[in-house]
Structure 1
Amino acid sequence: MSARDDILGRVRRGVGKDDFVGRREAAVAAMQTLPRGPRPAMSADLVSRFQGKAEYLSSSVEAVPALAAAPAAVARYLAANGLPGEAVATADVGGLAWADSALRVAVRPAVDADKTGISGCFCGIAETGMLMLLSGPDSPATVSLLPETHIALVAVSRIVATMEDAYALLKAERGTLPRAVNFISGPSRTGDIEQTIVLGAHGPCRVHLILIGELL
């Protein structure tokens, strides 16, 4: 044993770091029993609160009763805003009947030239009106971040109350974090120049949410 190993060994023993298994078990137990902090009072109608908060953040919102109605809703939104009927989409929503609504949708990561990106989302957060998106092979982050227009399909059954609930759902369903977790809170904005809010400074200038499912 070298002098260095001897010294570091004595330091580890002195601070109790040799008991790696015990320390890990203690850390896991502590994380599982953390008390929840204060939360805002919310009614049982999480969907209405989510929609109101999302609109406050400058997102537009439309509701449809079923996922099959989403392509027609996307076509209406694009036509109403004078946008071309073509987009790039994540694979989790790419299999919808887009062509039936005269839309040309490519399932792939977005590039700079793409004007509209369509994605699903892991869940919506009623407290703030934000979306929680997870990166992965079927849901590249570029689709929601690069195009000027981001359209997200949000199942009303996936709207949770708080950010803590969103992370609890992620832990329960996925177990581990993906490479990236993105929170979308409306169009990109900045107030750097004369404190004037400008949308689309470093991301989409339009965010449109299509709520999927029967509303309460």
Structure 2
Amino acid sequence: MDTSAARSNILARIRSAQGRKGAPTDAERAAADDYVQRHPAGPRPPLPATRDELIARFTLEAERLATTVAEVGTLDEAPAEAARYLHALDLSCDAVAWPALGGLPWSQAGIAASLRKPADADLVGITGCFCATAETGSLVLLSGADTPASGALLPQTHIAIVPASRIVASHEDAFALIRAERGELPRAVNFVSGPSRTGDIEQTIVLGAHGPYRVHVIVVRGA
């Protein structure tokens, strides 16, 4: 469902209540960008800085969230690791993958990867990520035509390919990277922190309540 029109209407009503007419001007956008750049960052704990430290911290925090993590050297090795993971759990190798990952050797690894948006019946979803945060072991996914958000939300098993160069220290760094590379936020920004879970019933944690039962991350050292 396209919510762009509804969002535009809401923002227009807010602007009208503020006494502003029409679409935001270039001057208003420049003033907002300047404010974001000058706004002091809040307090943060000491965080890793080198690539090895970022990978180690990301892996530690991700595993605390019940995410499993494996490392490979190159992107072309990622399909083989995905197949190894699926075979180890006796899971189907029929998967739906982001169109952005279409150039990887899925069939050679024994994975039937369909490059389309996931449907309710799809059991395995394979995605990349925009970046990942070491502080919380989270994946940052931006929606788009070749990177549908549903790839990480609908299937029971989510496999994510994370280039090591895209692991940043914190959420603040992730948003700064989005602004630097994309300018504006897409329709959806998802921070995925391990398998879906809930503790609503008797404070007992249940995995897979509103999304994947399991998340497996493949960190690519050479990417």
TM-score range, shorter chain: 0.7 to 0.9
* 1:87–1:21 CA distance, 2 compared to 1 (3 A): closer
SS at match of 1:42: coil
Q: Does 1:163 align with 2:156?
A: no
Flag the structure with larger Rg. 1
Aligned ranges 1:120-135 → 2 under 5 Å: 120-135=128-143
Worse-matched range after superposition: 23-32 or 198-207: 23-32
* 1:169–1:194 CA distance, 2 compared to 1 (3 A): same
TM, length-normalised to structure 1: 0.87
The alignment's C-alpha RMSD in Å is: 2.0
- Correspondence for 1:102 among 100, 110, 135: 110
Q: In structure 2, what is the Cα distance between the partners aligned to 1:67 and 1:190?
A: 33
Task: Report the identity percentage.
Answer: 55
Q: Does 1:114 align with 2:119?
A: no
Q: Would the aligned equivalents of 2:163 and 2:222 in 1 still touch at CA under 8 Å?
A: no
- Correspondence for 1:39 among 44, 51, 67: 44
TM, length-normalised to structure 2: 0.85
Other-structure match for 2:15? none
* 1:101–1:37 CA distance, 2 compared to 1 (3 A): same
* 1:179–1:56 CA distance, 2 compared to 1 (3 A): same
Other-structure match for 1:140? 148
- Figure out how many residues of one structure are paired with residues of the other and give that number: 200
Other-structure match for 2:192? 184
Q: Does 1:69 align with 2:77?
A: yes
Shift of 1:27: 4.1
What's the CA shift string for 1:72-127, capped at 9, x where partnerless?
00000000011011100001112211110111110000001100000000001001
Q: Which runs of 5+ in 2 are unaligned?
A: 1-17
Other-structure match for 2:8? none
Aligned ranges 1:183-202 → 2 under 5 Å: 183-202=191-210
Shift of 1:163: 0.5
Other-structure match for 2:9? none
